[in-house]
Amino acid sequence: MRSDIRIAWILARGSERREWWRLSLTLLGALLATAFALAAVTVAAVPGQVSIPSAHGLLDQPGQRAGVVLTLVLLLVPVVGFLGQCARIGAVHRHRRTAGMRLAGATPLQVRRIAAVESALACLAGSAVGFGAFVLLLAVQGHTPPPAAWAGFVGVVLAVPVVAAAVSVLVLRRVVASPLGHLRRTGPDRGRRAALGFLLGAVLIATGAVLLLLPADTGGTPFGLMVLALVSLTGAGAIWAAGASAAYTGRRLTLRAKSPAVLIAASRLAHDPWAAARTHGALLLVTVVGVGFVGVRGVLLAELQRPGHPPEGMAFYTTGIDLAGSAVLTALAISLCGLAVGAAESLATRRRGLAAQAAAGVPYRVLAAATLLETAIPLAPALLLAGAGGTVVYLAYTTVVNNGFVPLLPLFVPLAVYAACLLVAATSLPLLRRVTHPSELRFT
C-alpha cells in the first residue's frame, strides 16, 4: 500500500496539463462535500432549544434543525456522483500510463487502487481548503463550537478523501486496461432490457403510489419514509431505464438510421449503453426530487394562503421552503456539472476515432449532432419516468392536505431539465473541435 501511495503521489505531481482540470474538478467536488458536511455537523451540534435571530426561527427547535441537517446530508449524493465522474475521467484519460503499469506487472486491482489514492490526494487538498475557510468563517463570526463538534469537523475532513477513494474503486471496478491500453466495454445487449427497464420503473412508481395513498392508520409507516422510499426506487428505475433504452434504441437505430449523425450516435449507444446510466444517475434522482418539491411547494403555499393561517407565521414557512428549493437547485447544478464532465470524458476517450472520422470527411456538424444525440436519446425516457415518480409524490401530498389544489408547474420540470442537459452537453462541442483536429491522428 505504501508503494501505491508513492506511485500515486508521483503521478499526481507529474500530471500533464490536460489532467490538471480533472484534478481541479476533483478538488472542487471535495470542497463542496466538505462544506455541506461541516455545515451539517455545525447545525447538529447546536444544543437543545435556542433562539437564533437569523432564518426566522427555522433553527430554534431540535426537530427543525434535524430537517436542515438531513437536507445538507442529501446534498452529498450528487457531489459523490460528481466525484465518481472525475475518477472515471482520470482512469480513461491516462490509459497509456495505465498500460505502462500493467506491462510493468501491476494487477488491475492495483491500477484501480492507485487511481483511487490519486483521487483521495486531490480530495484531501480540497477538504483541507474547505476546513480552513470554515475555521476562518467561525473566527470572523466569533462562534465557538463545542469540543464534540470539533471532533466531527476533523472526522469530516478525513472522511471525504476516504469516501472519494471508495467511490473511485467502485466506479472503476469494470474498467480493466490491457497491456495495449484497450478498455473493456459493455458487451452487446441481448434485448428486452428496455421493456424490463420501463416495466421496473412503472411497477416501482405504482407500488409507491399505492403505499402513499393508503390511509395513515393502515400502514404504520410514516409518510416521510414512504416518500423517501418512492424517490429512491423511482430514481433506480429511471437509471435502469436510461441504460436499457440506450441499448434498445441504439440497436434499432443502427439498423434503420438514415441520417449520418443518428447512425454515429446509435452505434455509440449500442457499443456502451450503460454509460448513459452512469452519467445521468444523480441527475435523474434530483429530477424526481425536483418535480416532487415544486408540486409540494405549490400545494403548501396554497394551503398557507387560505383563511385561518396567521400571516405573521408565513416567514417561517417560506424560509424553510426557500432553503429546500436552494438545496434542490444546488443539487441540480452539481448534477449538470457531472453531466458536462461525463460528456467531456466521452469525447476524450474517443478522440482518436473522432479524428479519424473527421479526416475521412465526416463534417463537424454531423459529429456535433451525434454528440448531442448521445445525450438526448437515452435521457428522454428516463426523465419521463423520473417525472412520473415526482408527480406521484406531490399528488399523494395533495391527498394528504386535501385542499383541492393540484399545481401544473411540476409537469414542466422534466422539460426544463431536459433542455438544460442539452445545453450542458453543447458545452463539450469546443472540445469536439479540438479532438477532431488532424494532429490527434498521431495517437492512432
SS3 annotation, 11-46:
HHHCCCHHHHHHHHHHHHHHHHHHHHHHHHHHHHCC
* Number of domains into which the chain is organized: 2
Both 171 and 307 in one domain: the answer is no
Lowest-confidence segment of 147-156, 205-214, 275-284, 376-385 by average pLDDT: 205-214
Mean pLDDT in residue range 85-110 = 67
Residue 99 has pLDDT above 70, yes or no: no
Select the more confidently predicted residue: 223 or 182: 223
Spatial distance between the Cα atoms of 110 and 410, rounded to a whole number of angstroms = 47
pLDDT tens digits along 32-50: 888 888 888 888 887 766 6
Spatial distance between the Cα atoms of 208 and 261, rounded to a whole number of angstroms = 39
Q: Please tell me the predicted confidence (pLDDT) of residue 183.
A: 45
Both 169 and 214 in one domain: the answer is no
Largest CA distance in the chain: 76
Both 146 and 198 in one domain: the answer is no
Both 150 and 240 in one domain: the answer is no
Under a CB-based contact definition with an 8 Å cutoff, are residues 386 and 275 in contact?
Answer: no
Mean pLDDT in residue range 163-169 = 79
Q: Please tell me the predicted confidence (pLDDT) of residue 423.
A: 93
Q: Please tell me the predicted confidence (pLDDT) of residue 415.
A: 93
Both 169 and 241 in one domain: the answer is no
Q: What is the mean pLDDT of the chain?
A: 75
Under a CB-based contact definition with an 8 Å cutoff, are residues 288 and 232 in contact?
Answer: no
Select the more confidently predicted residue: 347 or 184: 347
* Cα–Cα nearest to 87, from 338, 280, 331: 338
Both 39 and 12 in one domain: the answer is yes
DSSP letters along 332-351, please? HHHHHHHHHHHHHHHHHHTH
Mean pLDDT in residue range 302-310 = 69
Indicate the angle between helix axes 147-171 and 108-141, nearest 10 degrees: 150
Q: Please tell me the predicted confidence (pLDDT) of residue 11.
A: 67
Residue 85 half-sphere exposure toward CB, CA atoms < 13 A: 33
In terms of C-beta distances under 8 Å and separation of at least 24 residues, what long-range contacts does 99-102 make, across chains too?
99/177, 99/178, 99/179, 99/180, 99/181, 101/7, 102/177, 102/178, 102/179
Residue 123 has pLDDT above 70, yes or no: yes
pLDDT tens digits along 389-412: 888 878 877 777 766 677 888 889
Both 177 and 107 in one domain: the answer is yes
Both 342 and 390 in one domain: the answer is yes
Q: Please tell me the predicted confidence (pLDDT) of residue 420.
A: 93
Both 345 and 374 in one domain: the answer is yes
Name the domain boundary from 184, 203, 236: 184
Spatial distance between the Cα atoms of 324 and 70, rounded to a whole number of angstroms = 10
Both 295 and 387 in one domain: the answer is yes
Residue 360 has pLDDT above 90, yes or no: no
Residue 308 has pLDDT above 70, yes or no: no
Mean pLDDT in residue range 423-442 = 83
Q: Please tell me the predicted confidence (pLDDT) of residue 161.
A: 87
Both 174 and 200 in one domain: the answer is no
Name the domain boundary from 161, 184, 207: 184
Both 248 and 168 in one domain: the answer is no
pLDDT tens digits along 235-280: 777 777 777 778 888 888 888 878 888 888 888 888 877 777 777 8
Mean pLDDT in residue range 318-343 = 82
Under a CB-based contact definition with an 8 Å cutoff, are residues 340 and 426 in contact?
Answer: no
Mean pLDDT in residue range 353-372 = 88
Residue 416 has pLDDT above 90, yes or no: yes
Select the more confidently predicted residue: 409 or 206: 409
Mean pLDDT in residue range 99-110 = 71
Task: Return phi, psi of residue 172, to 5°.
Answer: -100, 10
Name the domain boundary from 184, 210, 237: 184
Q: Please tell me the predicted confidence (pLDDT) of residue 273.
A: 77
**Range of the structural domain that residue 334 is part of:** 189-444
Which amino acid is residue 78, in one-letter code? P
Spatial distance between the Cα atoms of 91 and 87, rounded to a whole number of angstroms = 7
Q: Please tell me the predicted confidence (pLDDT) of residue 216.
A: 46
Residue 375 has pLDDT above 60, yes or no: yes
pLDDT tens digits along 15-33: 555 566 667 778 888 888 8
Q: Please tell me the predicted confidence (pLDDT) of residue 54.
A: 62
Q: Please tell me the predicted confidence (pLDDT) of residue 52.
A: 61
Residue 334 has pLDDT above 50, yes or no: yes
Which amino acid is residue 253, in one-letter code? L
Q: Please tell me the predicted confidence (pLDDT) of residue 288.
A: 85
Which amino acid is residue 293, in one-letter code? F
Q: How confident is the model at residue 189 (pLDDT cuts 50, 70, 90)?
A: very low
